[in-house]
Chain A
Amino acid sequence: MIITRRTFVKAAAASGAALVLSAAAPGAPPAPVMRAVPSSGEMLPAVGLGTWITFNVGDDPVLRDECAEVMAAFFAAGGRMIDSSPMYGSSQPVIGYGLEKLSRPEALFSAEKVWISSAADGPAQIEQSRRFWGVPRFDLVQVHNLVAWETHLETLFAMKAVGQIRYVGITTSEGRRHDLFEQIMSAHPLDFVQLTYNVVDRGAEERLLPLAAERGMGVIVNRPFRQGALTRQLQGEALPDWAAVIGAKTWAQFILKFIVSHPSVTVAIPATTRVDHVRENLMAATGPLPDAAMRERMAAYVRDL
Chain B
Amino acid sequence: MSEWWTYRLEDFLLFSPRVYWRMFELANAASWPLHLLTLAAGLAIVLLVLRRPRRHGLWIALVLAAFFAFVGWSFLWNRYAVIDWAIAYVAPVFGLQAPLLAFGGARGSLAFNRRDIAGRLGLLIAVAGLVVYPLLPPLFGRPWASAEVFGIAPDPTAIVALGVLLAASGGPVPLLFAIPLLWLLISGLTLHAMGDPQAWLPLLAAATTAAALALRRIAR
Tell me if B13 is interfacial: C-beta within 8 Å of chain A: yes
Task: Tell me the minimal C-beta distance from A176 to chain B in angstroms.
Answer: 5
Q: Can you list, as one digit per residue, whether each of B7-32 has a CB less than 8 Å from chain A (1) or not (0)?
A: 00000011110110011001000000
Q: Which residues of B contact A54 (CB under 8 A)?
A: 16
Closest to B86 in A: A89
Query: At the interface with chain A, which of B62-70, B76-84, B94-102, B122-130?
Result: B76-84
Tell me if A177 is interfacial: C-beta within 8 Å of chain B: yes
Closest to A174 in B: B6
CA distance A146 to B2 in the complex (A): 10
Q: Is the CB of B82 within 8 A of A58?
A: yes
Q: Can you list, as one digit per residue, whether each of A62-103 has a CB less than 8 Å from chain B (1) or not (0)?
A: 110000000000000000000000011110000000000000
Closest to B11 in A: A174
Q: Is the CB of A58 within 8 A of B16?
A: no
| Number of residues from B at the complex interface, CB < 8 A | 17
Tell me if A57 is interfacial: C-beta within 8 Å of chain B: yes
CB within 8 Å for A89 and B6 given contacts A56-B19, A58-B23? no
Q: Is the CB of A56 within 8 A of B83?
A: yes
CA distance A46 to B6 in the complex (A): 29
Contact of B83 among A90, A146, A177 (CB under 8 A): A90
Q: Is the CB of A58 within 8 A of B79?
A: yes
Q: Is the CB of B6 within 8 A of A59?
A: no
Q: Is the CB of A53 within 8 A of B22?
A: no
Closest to A117 in B: B1
Q: Which residues of A contact B15 (CB under 8 A)?
A: 53, 56-58, 89
Q: Is the CB of B79 within 8 A of A177?
A: no
CA distance A90 to B18 in the complex (A): 15
CB within 8 Å for A89 and B16 given contacts A63-B22, A177-B2, A177-B3? no
Which of A87, A90, A273 gathers the greatest number of chain B CB atoms within 10 Å?
A: A90
Tell me if B89 is interfacial: C-beta within 8 Å of chain A: no
Q: Which residues of B contact A60 (CB under 8 A)?
A: 19, 22-23, 26
Which of B22, B79, B83, B85 gathers the greatest number of chain A CB atoms within 10 Å?
A: B83
Task: Tell me the minimal C-beta distance from A219 to chain B in angstroms.
Answer: 21
Task: Tell me the minimal C-beta distance from A246 to chain B in angstroms.
Answer: 31
List which A21-77 residues lie within 8 A (CB) of chain B: 53-54, 56-60, 62-63
CB within 8 Å for A57 and B2 given contacts A89-B84, A90-B82, A90-B83? no
Q: Is the CB of B14 within 8 A of A88?
A: yes
Q: Which residues of A contact B19 (CB under 8 A)?
A: 56-58, 60, 63
Q: Is the CB of B2 within 8 A of A176?
A: yes
CA distance A146 to B1 in the complex (A): 10
Q: Which residues of A contact B84 (CB under 8 A)?
A: 89
Q: Is the CB of A53 within 8 A of B23?
A: no
Closest to B15 in A: A56
Task: Tell me the minimal C-beta distance from A56 to chain B in angstroms.
Answer: 5
Q: Is the CB of A89 within 8 A of B82?
A: yes
Task: Tell me the minimal C-beta distance from A188 to chain B in angstroms.
Answer: 19
CA distance A57 to B2 in the complex (A): 28
CA distance A87 to B22 in the complex (A): 21
Task: Tell me the minimal C-beta distance from A257 to chain B in angstroms.
Answer: 26
CA distance A214 to B92 in the complex (A): 50
Q: Which residues of B contact A89 (CB under 8 A)?
A: 14-15, 82-85
Q: Can you list, as one digit per residue, whether each of A267-289 has a CB less than 8 Å from chain B (1) or not (0)?
A: 00000010000000000000000
Contact of A53 among B13, B79, B85 (CB under 8 A): B13
Task: Tell me the minimal C-beta distance from A198 to chain B in angstroms.
Answer: 17
CA distance A172 to B64 in the complex (A): 45
Q: Which residues of B contact A88 (CB under 8 A)?
A: 14
Q: Is the CB of B82 within 8 A of A273?
A: no
Residues of chain A whose beta carbon lies under 8 Å from any beta carbon of chain B: 53-54, 56-60, 62-63, 87-90, 146, 174, 176-177, 273
Residues of chain B whose beta carbon lies under 8 Å from any beta carbon of chain A: 2-3, 6, 13-16, 18-19, 22-23, 26, 79, 82-85
Could you pull out 18 A-B pairs where Cβ atoms are within 8 angstroms? A53-B14, A53-B15, A54-B16, A56-B16, A56-B83, A57-B83, A58-B23, A59-B26, A60-B22, A60-B23, A63-B18, A87-B85, A89-B82, A89-B83, A89-B84, A90-B82, A90-B83, A176-B2
Closest 4 A/B residue pairs (Cβ): A58-B82, A58-B83, A89-B14, A89-B83
Given A87-B85, A89-B85, A273-B18, output 12 extra A-B contacts at Cβ < 8 Å: A53-B13, A54-B16, A56-B15, A56-B16, A57-B15, A57-B22, A58-B82, A59-B26, A63-B18, A89-B82, A177-B2, A273-B16
